[in-house]
Amino acid sequence: MYGRLTRIPATVIAIGAGLFTLFGLLAGDNLGLFSTLAEIGRIRESTDYLLQLVVISVAVTVVIGILNLLWVHLTRIRYRRAGWGYSIVLVFSTLTVLILTILERASVLNQNPPLTTILLEQVQVSIESALAGLLLFALVYGAARVLRHRVSAWGLLFVLSLVIVLAGALPLGITLLADLRDLWLSVPVSAGARGILMGIALATVVAGVRVLVGQDRSYRE
């Protein structure tokens, strides 16, 4: 009963705010009665205010994220769960970067370039670069696995596309390969990609309507 009582106002507020914002964002300047109503009701200003609230809420979620990160890994360390050694490194790194950032913002540390920037460039960027190198091997291995495990017409078409695109990109000076690659990318590959994106767009529209009419699960349970 309590759950139902709290759920109804929450649903009304969510749907109301959604429809109101949608109306505010759609209300243009030369839409006759539609624009007049938006002007009288100061709907556009209210919509901007609601959007600012969203931005603030998003900023707060970063704090929730840091608390989540520390909570998960401190719990792991406390109960000596598998991988607690990694967790010690993670908690130490997080706290170090947090403290350094606070000290830099408070002008206690005035090093140029800042220590946090050095850490980002020397640690994060290096690790990401190394992983990017590994990515190539994972992709090639994956393509080989398609041929071993999924020998279907679609699997073969996938690998054929890959071979055409890669062969066409080689600097061999064979015009036919480069032309075939361009044709392949501009017609079947482009059509397939657009088809997938259109499908996602249509599904997104339907999902949006479901949310606006209160059919989403979070409203009902």
In the three-class reduction of DSSP (H, G, I as helix; E, B as strand; rest coil), residue 216 is classed as coil
Please check whether residue 47 is in contact with residue 24, taking contact to mean a CB–CB distance below 8 angstroms: yes
Binding residues among 86-115 for another protein as defined by CB under 8 A? 86
- Torsion angle in degrees (nearest 10) through CA of 187, 193, 198, 199: 120
Binding residues among 68-87 for another protein as defined by CB under 8 A? 68-69, 71-72, 75-76, 82-83, 86
CA pair distance 40, 168, nearest whole angstrom: 60
Query: Please, what is the minimum distance in Å from the beta carbon of residue 212 to another protein?
Result: 8
CA angle 2, 14, 9 (to 5 degrees): 30
Binding residues among 6-65 for another protein as defined by CB under 8 A? 54-55, 57-58, 61-62, 64-65
Binding residues among 136-175 for another protein as defined by CB under 8 A? 138-139, 141-143, 145-146, 158
Query: Please, what is the minimum distance in Å from the beta carbon of residue 217 to another protein?
Result: 6
Say whether residue 207 binds another protein (CB under 8 A): yes
- In Å, how far are 70, 76, 106, 152, 162 from 146, measured between CA atoms? 40, 38, 54, 9, 12
Question: Which residues form the interface with another protein (CB under 8 A)?
Answer: 54-55, 57-58, 61-62, 64-66, 68-69, 71-72, 75-76, 82-83, 86, 124, 127-128, 131-132, 134-135, 138-139, 141-143, 145-146, 158, 193, 195-200, 202-211, 213, 215-218, 221
